[in-house]
Amino acid sequence: MLRAQRISEKLARFGGGSSQWRHFTSSTQFCKPSLDDLRDDYHKEIAALPEQLGMQSLEAFLADKSSGNGELWKMSPPVPPKDGYRYTMNQDEIQITLDAALATFCLHVESRIAALVGAGFYTIGPCGEEMLSAIGLSLRDHDDAALHYRHSGVSLARQLRRRGRSDIDQILLDRARGYTVSKHDPVTGGVHCSIGSHTEGLGRDYVVTSTLASQCPSAVGRALGYSLAAKQKVLQQATNRNKPVSFVSVGDGSVHNHHFWSSFHLARHARHRNIQCPTVFGISNNGISISYETKNYVNTLFGNDPLVPLFEADAADMMQVYSETKRATEHARQRSAPAVILYQNITRRFGHAASDRQQAYLDPERIQAMAESDLLERAIMQAVEVFNALTYQEVKDRFQEIRASTRDAFSKASQEEKVTRSEMMERVATPTVTCPPLPSELTERTIEKPKSESTSKRPKKLDVMRKHMTRVLEESLANDDSVVYLGEDVEHGGYYLVTDQLSKKFPGRVVDFPPDETSLLGAAMGFSQVGLTPIVEIPYAKYLDCGADMFFEIAITDWLSAGKQPNGMLIRLQGFDRGLFGGNFHTHNMLSNIPPGVDVVCYSNGEDYVRGFRYALEKARAGRVVVSVDSTHLLNLRHVHEKDRGWERAYPVLEGAASADKMSFDEIIRYGTAGRCAVVTYGNGVVTALQARKSLVMKGLLQSDEELDILDCPLLSTVPAGLKKALPQYEGVLFADVCKEGPSNVLSSMIVSLHDDGVLQCPWVSAFAPRTYNPLGSVETFLNVDDIESAWKKLSEKVSRS
C-alpha cells in the first residue's frame, strides 16, 4: 500500500493519475516521473535492497584491492583442476568474460530497482551464474545458442565478442529495453523480456522465453537439420571443422520438464541410430528451482551413459567453464553427436525474482549467506592474480563505467514508448512476408463430374482426395529442395497412405520420428530455423494435444521474434471428424484454441486441397505457421449421392503462377447458384450438407436444390473475406459445424464476428455435433443429415416470420 500510495503522490505532482500509471504501456502520452526522479524518491528502499547491498560490497572490494588494501578480504580465487585446463582463454577473452559478468550483475540490480519503483517488469535474476559468461567465448561464431533465462551473461559475452567491448553501451541499452518492455527492444520489439539476438546467418542466439526447457526441442531440431539443410544447399557449411553445434542451456529444475526429456531422448535416440545431431545440453545446478530444492538430483541422471558423454565444470571458475564447454562442443562437432555439461557449485543470489518470497521457504541465515556469495570478487581475483589479464584498477574503472552505463540505459529505456494495441494486432495478423494476393474470393461449383473441353482431348483423370494429397506433396518436394516431410510412420506411407512411395522418391527428406509430438514439433521448429520448410504430420487431430505446449511455443516464439526468426511450417492433422477407428481419442481436437497468428484450414475435396495446399506452403515459406486438418471420412470418398462419383476430382495441374492453380485463405466455394438461403460449413460438413439438401428436396421441404446454397468455408481460424462478401445476399443462413456444440466451437466465433461486423443481419440458426464423446466404431455423435434438416426447419420458420 505504501508503494502504491507514494507512486500516486508522485504522479499527482507530475500531473498524472494512478490509473494512467497502471497502464503506462499505453501509447497515450502524459507527463510521468522519470526513473531518476523515482530513484531519488525511493532512495531509502533502494538502499535496503539486498542487490544494492551486494553492489556496495563489490565496490568496497574493488576500492580496497585497487588501493592496496586487499588483505582485508579473506578469500582466494578458484583453484585450478589438478590436471590443468585443456583449453584456455586469451587476455581479450578473459576481459570480455569479466565484462559480461559485471554487466549481468549491474543489469540485474537495475532491474530490481526499476521494478521497485514501478518502471520495470522483468526481474528473474541471473546472479550466481555470472561466470557462465565464459560459455559465450567457448562457442564458435557459427554455433547456435538457446539460453536459459538466467544465462544472460552468455548472450552478452557473444555480443561483446562480435561487436567489440567498445559497443557495451548499446548492448546494455538494448538489454535494458527488454527489462522495461520498450518498443525499441531489438529482441522482441517490446512485448516480452527474452534472451536472444538476431545475428544473420549462422551463430544465432535464438529467442528464448522463461517457459521451462521450451528451448530444448527446437535446439535438437536445428542440430538434426544442419546436415540435411547443408545437403539441400539451404545452409552453407565451409568444412567439417566448421560444422555448427546447437548449444542449449537449462537450470537443474528444468530437467524435470517434459520439454527437456523429449528433446534429450530424441538426441540420444539419434546417436543410437548414428544420425547426426550435434547438440550440447548445458545444465546449471544451483540446487533450487524457485522454492523447490532439487538436492543435486541432476547429478544422478547423466553419468556412465554409453551414448551421451558427461562433462562437468566448476561454475565459479571461468577458465574451467570455458575449457569444459569447449571440450563438450568439440565432442559434439567432431562426432555430430549430443553431449551434456553440468555447471556445478552455483549459489543463487537474491531469489528467483523480485516477487520471490524466500523467507517463506528459506531460513534468514541462509538467505543472507546466499546474498553474500563472493563469486564475482573471486572471479576478479582469478582474472587479475592468476591470469594477469588486467589490474584491479582497470577492473574498478571498467566496473564503474559499466555500472554508470547500465543506470543510464535503464533511465533512457524506461522513458521510451511502448507498443500499442493496434500494433499488437497488426503484428499478429500480418504474415511475415506477404504472399501475392489471389483475385478469387468465391468459386462456383457443382458436384457433376467435369467433362473434357473437346472430344479430341483426353478427359482429365478423376480421383479421390487421398491421391491428390499424395501428388501435391510429391509436387512440393520436387519443386522446392527446402521442403522436408516429418512425422511418425510416414516413410512407409502413414496411416492413410498419404505419403505412399514418397520416401523412395525423396530419400532423406521424408523422415520418421519416434512417437512423441513434443519432440516432433520442436524438431520442425528447429528445421525451419535453419532454412528448411517442414511439413509435419500429426497422426490424429487429438495427438496435437500431446504436443500442445510445443505447438504454442512455435506460435508465440514466431510472434515474439517479429519475423526475424520465423518458424514457418505446415502442420497436417489427420483423423479429424467422422472416422470409425479410435473413437474420441483420435478425433477429439483443440482447434478452437488455436493461438493467434496461426492459420487453420480444412479442405473438403482433392481439388481444393491441392490448390489450397500450394498457397499454404507459400505462407509457410514466408514464415507463417499453417495447420491443415484432414477429415478421415473424405480421404477415399467417391460418392455423394448413391454411386454418382460426385466427390472425385481432377488434379489441378500447376501452370506457372496462374491464380486458378492456387486457392487463397479468403476464398470460399459455393455449391449452388445464388439461392435464397445458405449453409455455411467446412470439411465433411460439406458432404453432409449436400446430402441433407437432396433429402430436403425429396421430402418436399425444398422445391429444388437452387433454393439452398452450400458454402464451403475452409478457413477456420478467422472469417474469410469471401464469406463476408457472400452472406449479405441471403435471406437466412444455417451454420453447420462438425465440431462439438459449446463455447469452444469453431463456427461460433465466426458468427460473433459476422454479427459485430454487421454482415450477418438476416435470420440464422446453427447445427453442431453433440457435446459428448464419440464411442468406438460409431458415427452417432457426429454432425449428420438429420441435424441439418432439423436446423433447416428452424431457419425456415425464422425466415418466414422476418
Per-position DSSP letters for 673-741, written without gaps between them: SS-SEEEEE-THHHHHHHHHHHHHHHTTSSS-GGGEEEEE--B-SS--HHHHHHGGG-SEEEEEEEEES
Q: Would the pLDDT of 538 be above 50? A: yes
| CATH no., domain 670-801 | 3.40.50.920
Q: In what order do the strands lie in the sheet with 677-681?
A: 442-445, 668-671, 708-712, 677-681, 732-740, 764-769
Q: Which three cell numbers stand for residue 421?
A: 494495441
Domain spans of the chain?
A: 34-80+90-128+164-190+352-411, 211-346, 465-661, 670-801
Pick the CATH number of 211-346 from 3.40.50.970, 3.40.50.1000, 3.40.109.10, 3.20.20.70: 3.40.50.970
Q: What is the pLDDT of residue 744?
A: 67
CATH architecture of 465-661: 3-Layer(aba) Sandwich (3.40)
Joined grid coordinates for residue 130: 555470472
Q: In the predicted model, is pLDDT for residue 28 greater than 70?
A: no
Tens of pLDDT, residue by residue over 336-373, are: 999 999 999 999 999 999 999 999 999 999 999 999 99
For residues 383 and 310, give the distance between their C-alpha atoms in angstroms, rounded to a whole number: 27
- The set of cell numbers assigned to 605 is 475435396
582: left (phi over 0), alpha (psi -120 to 50) or beta: left
**Residue 189 Cα distances to 156, 211, 573, 747, angstroms:** 18, 19, 32, 33
pLDDT for the residue numbered 31:
59
Closest CA to 612 of 622, 602, 621: 602
Question: In 150-203, which residue ranges form alpha helices assigned H by DSSP?
Answer: 152-163, 168-179
**210 Ramachandran zone, left/alpha/beta (phi>0; psi -120 to 50):** alpha
So what's the pLDDT on residue 27? 42
Q: Which three cell numbers stand for residue 482?
A: 527446402
Percent of the chain beyond pLDDT 70? Answer: 89
Strand, helix or coil at 431? Answer: coil
- Position 15 scores a pLDDT of 33
Q: Residues 6 or more apart from 485 whose CB is under 8 A from it?
A: 473, 477, 499, 502, 506, 509, 510, 511, 534, 535, 537
Give the pLDDT band of residue 13 (cuts 50, 70, 90). Answer: very low
Alpha-carbon radius of gyration of the chain = 30
Which pLDDT does position 68 carry in this prediction? 87
pLDDT at 499: 95
**Mean per-residue pLDDT over the chain, rounded:** 88
- For residue 702, pLDDT beyond 60: yes
In the predicted model, is pLDDT for residue 3 greater than 60? no
Q: Which tens digit of pLDDT belongs to each residue from 738-783?
A: 988 877 688 998 999 999 999 999 999 999 988 888 777 788 888 9
Q: Poorest-confidence range of 7-21, 370-384, 421-435, 573-587?
A: 7-21
pLDDT in tens, 625-665: 999 999 989 999 999 998 999 999 999 987 765 556 889 99
Percent of the chain with pLDDT over 90: 70
**Residue of 669, 685, 572 lying closest to 633 (CA atoms):** 685
CB proximity list for 255: less than 8 A, separation 6 or greater: 213, 261, 283, 298, 301
Question: For position 446, what pLDDT does the model report?
Answer: 75
Can you give the pLDDT at residue 674? 80
d(CA 377, CA 382): 9
Query: Is the pLDDT assigned to residue 581 strictly greater than 70?
Result: no
- Mean pLDDT of the region 707-718: 95
254 band by pLDDT with thresholds 50, 70 and 90: very high
Query: What is residue 242's predicted lDDT score, i.e. its pLDDT?
Result: 74
Phi-psi region of 462 (alpha: psi -120 to 50; beta: other; left: phi over 0): beta
What pLDDT, in 10s, does the model give residues 299-349?
A: 999 988 999 999 999 999 999 999 999 999 999 999 999 999 999 999 999
Instruction: Please tell me whether residue 503 adopts helix, strand or coil conformation.
Output: helix
Q: What is the pLDDT at residue 240?
A: 53
Give the mean model confidence (pLDDT) for residues 2-16: 42
Cell 553427436 locates to 337
Q: Model's pTM, two decimal places?
A: 0.91
- Do the domains 465-661 and 211-346 match in fold? yes
What is the spatial distance between Cα 178 and Cα 734, in angstroms, rounded to a whole number?
48
| Per-residue pLDDT tens over the stretch 734-746 | 999 998 887 768 8
Statement: residue 2 has pLDDT above 50:
no
CA neighbor of 500 nearest in space, from 462, 467, 464, 533: 467
Give 438's contacts (C-beta < 8 A, 6+ positions apart). Answer: 615, 659, 662, 663, 664, 666, 667
| Bridge-based pairing state of the strands 708-712 and 668-671 | antiparallel
Asked if residues 341 and 328 have their Cβ atoms less than 8 Å apart, the reply is yes
| H/E segment holding residue 478 | helix 465-479
Residues 6+ apart with CB under 8 A from 132: 151, 153, 154, 249, 284, 315, 321, 343
Angle at 78 between CA 75 and CA 81, to 5 degrees: 145
Q: Using an 8 Å Cβ cutoff, are 519 and 265 in contact? A: yes
Calculate the CA dihedral of residues 153, 159, 165, 168 and round it to 10 degrees.
-70
- Name the residue with higher pLDDT: 467 or 576: 467
The strand ranges marked E within 587-657 are 598-601, 625-631, 649-650
Select the more confidently predicted residue: 757 or 4. 757
pLDDT at 435: 63
- Over residues 386-396, the mean pLDDT reads 96
The more confidently predicted of residues 15 and 155 is: 155
Given a contact cutoff of 8 angstroms between Cβ atoms, the answer to whether 792 and 764 are in contact is no
- For residue range 90-126, what is the model confidence (pLDDT) as tens digits? 999 999 999 999 999 999 999 999 999 999 999 998 9
Q: Which three cell numbers stand for residue 735?
A: 451454420
Lowest mean pLDDT among 7-21, 218-232, 330-344, 502-516: 7-21
